[in-house]
Amino acid sequence: MRTESSPTISRNDYQPYPYALPRVELTFDLDPACTRVYSRLHLERQSESPEPLVLNGEELALESVSLDGRRLAVSDYRLEDGRLTLFPEAARFVIELVSTCRPQENSTLMGLYVSGDHLFTQCEAEGFRRITWFPDRPDVMARYTVRLRADRARYPLLLSNGNLASNDELPDGRHEAVWEDPHPKPCYLFALVAGSFDCREQSLDKDGGGQALLQVYSDRGSNSKTAWALACLEHAVRWDERRFGLKLDLDRFMIVAARDFNMGAMENKGLNIFNSAYVLADKDTATDAAYRAIEAVIGHEYFHNWTGNRVTCRDWFQLSLKEGLTVFRDQEFSADMLAQGLTGTEARSARAVKRIDDVSTLRIAQFPEDAGPMAHPIRPESYQEIGNFYTATVYEKGAEVIRMQHTLLGEAGFQAGMAEYFRRHDGQAVTCDDFVSAMESVYTRLHPGKTLAVFRRWYSQAGTPRVTVEVSWDPAQQACNITLTQRNAPAGIEKLQDPPTAKPPLHIPFAIGLLTREGKPITLHHEGRQSDTALLELTEASHTWTFTGIPESPVVSLLRNFSAPVIVEYERPDTDLALLARHDADPFARWEAGQALASRQLLAMMKTGEAPSALFIDTWQALLLDADITDAYRARVLALPSDRELLEKTTPMDPLAAVRACRHLQSALGNRLTPYWMDVYRKTAADAQADYSPDPASAGRRALKNLALSYLMAAGHPDAAELARMQYDVASNMTDRMGALSCMLRYGASGVAIQVLDHFYQQWQHDPLVMDKWFALQATAPDATVETVRSLMLHPAFSLRNPNRARSVVFQFCMNNLQGIHGPGGYDYWAEQVLALDSLNPEIAARLARAFDSWSRYADAPREGMRAALEHVRGHAGLSRNVSEIVNKALK
């Protein structure tokens, strides 16, 4: 729907729906041009006296409405602004509706749409109203019976949620499948799929008895690429049984891969629909990172079956109830999969690799959001378009808020809290507060007198807290005092309030450790426990803790395992960071110290062109030579902060200087440590020809090899280009092929890169997911300009209608190519693409519109350029509600 000024919806305006809807019967006459939907809604009034019945609908043609079998006249109901209002008198009644929609014309990919030769649905958040008139809100839960009719030759497979009750022939070459879902659900979890697919399946013994059928459906001809997905699904089922005690409650669990999909995947009850990028993999087409991402997304959607589906959200302000919790669960699943079979330090560093990746994502995607015009608490207070609130804050910061509860309660306490949550709320639509109350009941039992009252503020306060640290050591007392002080500055629109809202302190679990000057851990006595790590609970503006029995002035290891989503401010010498980077027993904090040291080098380079210090080079050398760390972890600690991370640390933001500094430091490190990189490269490359396996150890080896190659290439080592070319030529898998090719594009001679790109194209042009990589490599190449991406968009394989393709070119250039987007014509290109996408797919357009959220933090020239581009988009007539909310907030 297009509107100039959209209404703002507020959390506090929530009103329960006045009707219960125990049963829904839907019949679909499926046809891509025009699908007819017959709907029977069994309604029961919840109040004493008559209430209007309001149903939502969008882009539908209404053919008839009946109430208890009596057809209504147009004067019996009201139809306006996407709302159909009826005035029933009875307390229980049945409404019958007939309406049509047009899947073929639906480029938004919300509701019922066509992708290739298939029909798919996407209903979260408010897509069901594009299928039929309905109370489209998550707190109305119903049992569904769904009858699907379609041409058998074109749509041999007809799927919906639940169990298949029958599948019969109809006249005229049509057939009909009837699906019954025994679980009541909100309509956002409804799904249907029609088409011709390959299927890979296996049956699984359910915990507690019985069997379940697990199925993965994909485009014809792609069955050889679904083995990993099915294996991941089985791992996810087993993991949820083992770690959370949560069992599969279905006889059949289906995953279907779609080429055209707005997001990663969707947790529809028993019938998950996935972006094919998170299903299809084989060694020739998918990288190690893609394998891990598939595992994470399959886990995520499967875990929603309990956290989201069995217990769902009362309203969309509670989105983080299901998303934050489910991201936390998928992060833990991935970490456990990485650490499988390992013990001790190795297991801890395997888990740390996942933690490092998650925290990097948080810092790149969520911290800027919290500092920008779209800042919102993990439970937003208001929105114009809910589609704009599937954000890093709701998802990733939401997961951090769940993780802090896990840290405060411990694994056993957290699991007890989860059990209590399901005991109280299974089958209900609830709030974030309900979740915290369940956790609090356990927390208070474990810690009499303590509550989560202060902790709850994480749900209502936006912004990233800053925690300042002061440390002193008292030689006479052999005591170390640590003071933590938190600052919660106004965020987003709060800044505009006069006076800005004062924000009370949060409950921050802050894990620390102390090391001797030789890098040995010091045992801490804290709250009756002895450990190398102490968990400080900061609940006031400032607090001081004293540790006794500390024989020397220690080096402090701060925010271990990133125990809270905060920014730490602490002045300390480089030598302390170097010591921590070499010796901290907490693998996350150890990585963090190295990154902090590298960031200082980069910032100094940006300011004064200073060369890297000997201390820094020595530290990297020590990390290269440390025999006790794994390849995967080594690849993380030796990598430099990205240009985007660096940019976030500078004021005003100077993108080109950030790019230059990163490149310069990488080449300096490559040069100074050449023999070591070469040694690492040769050792890790030795088994490149071994059979490919995506297991963590092999993937870690490949990550380290490709990192070594990038340092050698950056340094311009005389053999590097040849090594890259050879790696490309002999690669037995896509990780090595992409590693080599991206190095060539980034650091190599452009002639060679063009040749290899062409070879890559000839080899893979038939595979859309690989072609996405081919497009993305070019859109992110350092020398890519607006002309480069414009010509990529003229390629016959390019289409703005396919979100993956749009992401691989337009988004990659606008969001991941600092030189390109801030170069000539970049901002105009962005505005043009936002508008072009907005006329097709507002959800996707609004995501691109957010590329300039941080415009006001840039130096003068880029700032004014971005502002002008935002103004241009805002001035466009007929902007979608999605994009209009984003650009209006950006320009406030």
List interacting residues with ligand 0A1 (CB under 6 A). Answer: 110, 122, 124, 262-267, 300-301, 323, 390, 843
Catalytic residue among 58, 96, 295, 301: 301
Q: Which amino acid, residue 296?
A: A
Query: Could you give the strand order of the β-sheet that contains 265-266, starting from the edge strand earlier in sequence?
Result: 197-205, 211-219, 252-258, 271-275, 265-266
Give the nearest distance from C-beta 387 to ligand 0A1 in angstroms.
Answer: 6
Tell me which amino acid residue 188 is: Y
* Residue that has been written with the tokens 């209502």 in this structure: 460
Neighbours of 788 (CB within 10 A): 17
Residue 265 binds which one of ligand 0A1, Zn ion, none, with CB within 5 to 8 A depending on kind? Answer: ligand 0A1
Q: Pick what 843 binds: ligand 0A1, Zn ion, none; C-beta below 5 to 8 Å, kind-dependent.
A: ligand 0A1
How many residues line the site for Zn ion (CB under 5 A)? 2
Q: Select 124 or 853, whichever has its Cβ closest to Zn ion.
A: 124
Q: How far apart are CA 729 and CA 706, in angstroms?
A: 15
**Window 311-330: residues binding Zn ion (CB under 5 A):** 323, 326
Helix (H) or strand (E) holding 468: strand 466-474
Closest distance to ligand 0A1 from the beta carbon of 279 (Å) = 13
Q: Which is closer to Zn ion, CB of 192 or CB of 298?
A: 298
Q: How far is the CB of 139 from ligand 0A1 (least distance, A)?
A: 17
* Separation of first and last alpha carbons in the chain: 23
Q: How far is the CB of 717 from Zn ion (least distance, A)?
A: 44
Distance of closest approach, residue 866 Cβ to ligand 0A1, in angstroms: 27
Residue 215 or residue 320: which is nearer to Zn ion going by CB?
320
In terms of CB distance, is 239 or 395 closer to ligand 0A1? Answer: 395
Integer angstrom CA distances of residue 558 from 398, 455, 834: 22, 21, 42
Using CA atoms, how far residue 568 sits from 142, 409, 420, 564, 572, in Å, is: 47, 23, 34, 10, 12
A 10 A CB-CB count for 770 gives: 20
Please report how close the Cβ of residue 236 comes to Zn ion at its closest, in angstroms. Answer: 13
State the pairing for strand pair 19-29/142-151.
Answer: parallel
Task: Specify the residue, 111 or 377, whose C-beta has the smaller distance to ligand 0A1.
Answer: 111
3-state secondary structure of 640: coil
Strands 429-430 and 312-313: parallel
**Considering beta carbons, is residue 263 or 712 the nearer one to ligand 0A1?**
263
**Rg of the chain in Å (alpha carbons):** 28
| Stretch 278-307 residues interacting with Zn ion (CB under 5 A) | none
Taking the C-alpha atoms of residue 385 and residue 387, their distance in angstroms, rounded to an integer, is 5
Active site residue 571: no
592 binds, among ligand 0A1, Zn ion, none (CB under 5 to 8 A by kind): none
CB of 146 to ligand 0A1, least distance (A): 20
Q: Which residues are 26's β-sheet partners?
A: 39, 146
- Cβ distance to ligand 0A1 smaller for residue 1 or 153: 1
Sign, CA dihedral 577-580-586-588, equals positive
CB of 322 to Zn ion, least distance (A): 6
List, in sequence order, every beta strand (DSSP E) within 68-151. 70-71, 78-80, 83-86, 92-101, 111-115, 118-122, 142-151
Pick the closer one to ligand 0A1 by CB: 323 or 643: 323
277 vs 708, which CB is nearer to ligand 0A1?
277
Report what 557 binds from ligand 0A1, Zn ion, none; CB cut-off 5-8 Å by kind: none
586 binds, among ligand 0A1, Zn ion, none (CB under 5 to 8 A by kind): none
- Quick one: 408 exposed, middle or buried, by C-beta within 10 A (0-12, 13-18, 19+)? buried
Is 320 within 8 Å of 398 (Cβ atoms)? yes
Please list the helix, strand and coil fractions of the chain in percent, rounded to the nearest 5, in that order. 45, 20, 30
CA 355 to chain CA mean position, Å: 14
Beta carbons within 10 angstroms of residue 310's beta carbon: 18
Q: Which does 779 bind (CB under 5 to 8 A by kind): Zn ion, ligand 0A1, none?
A: none
Residue 593, both tokens? 């110290």
Question: Which tokens hold the place of 191?
Answer: 């799904």
Which residue's Cβ lies closest to ligand 0A1?
Answer: 263
The sign of the dihedral angle between the CA atoms of 551, 553, 555, 561 is positive
d(CA 468, CA 567): 9
**Greatest Cα-to-Cα distance within the chain, rounded to the nearest angstrom:** 95
Q: How far is the CB of 133 from ligand 0A1 (least distance, A)?
A: 20
Q: Which residues are catalytic?
A: 301
Site residues (CB under 5 A) for Zn ion?
A: 323, 326
